[in-house]
Amino acid sequence: GDSVTQMEGPVTLSEEAFLTINCTYTATGYPSLFWYVQYPGEGLQLLLKATKADDKGSNKGFEATYRKETTSFHLEKGSVQVSDSAVYFCALSDRGNTGFQKLVFGTGTRLLVSP
């Protein structure tokens, strides 16, 4: 079945450092790809998405490009802030056997940014 693999954390960075969180996927068909973020005590929030190959999703300085040839959707940010400290989840949408979307998640990567 479909699956998502992302790098284990925690990822510890200093403020203004460059961030990469790797994500690769296995899927039949052409899924949509998502990054969700979970801040402490809150639910999962959509950070960005890409719905077809070569699409770039971006939001709040984060970017990820849907690479079909490498089955990857790596998350990047040029300069992280302390407020970016959270858990980041890579996910793909699987339309399931009824045609409705369900999400397949990676394990999540905790990011810790220090001042």
Partner 1 sequence: EPEVTQTPSHQVTQMGQEVILRCVPISNHLYFYWYRQILGQKVEFLVSFYNNEISEKSEIFDDQFSVERPDGSNFTLKIRSTKLEDSAMYFCASTVQGSSYNEQFFGPGTRLTVL
Q: Which residues bind partner 1 (CB under 8 A)?
A: 4, 31-32, 34, 36, 41-46, 49, 51, 89, 91, 93-108
Cα torsion through 21, 25, 31, 35, rounded to 10: -20
Q: Compute the least distance from the CB of residue 106 to partner 1, in Å.
A: 6
Q: Compute the least distance from the CB of residue 4 to partner 1, in Å.
A: 8
**Residues near 38 by Cβ (< 8 Å), separated by ≥ 6?**
44, 45, 86, 87, 88, 89, 108
Q: Toward partner 1, which CB reaches closer, 4 or 75?
A: 4
Q: Toward partner 1, which CB reaches closer, 80 or 93?
A: 93
Q: Toward partner 1, which CB reaches closer, 59 or 79?
A: 59
Cα(45)–Cα(25) distance, integer angstroms: 20
Amino acid found at 24: T
Q: Compute the least distance from the CB of residue 54 to partner 1, in Å.
A: 16
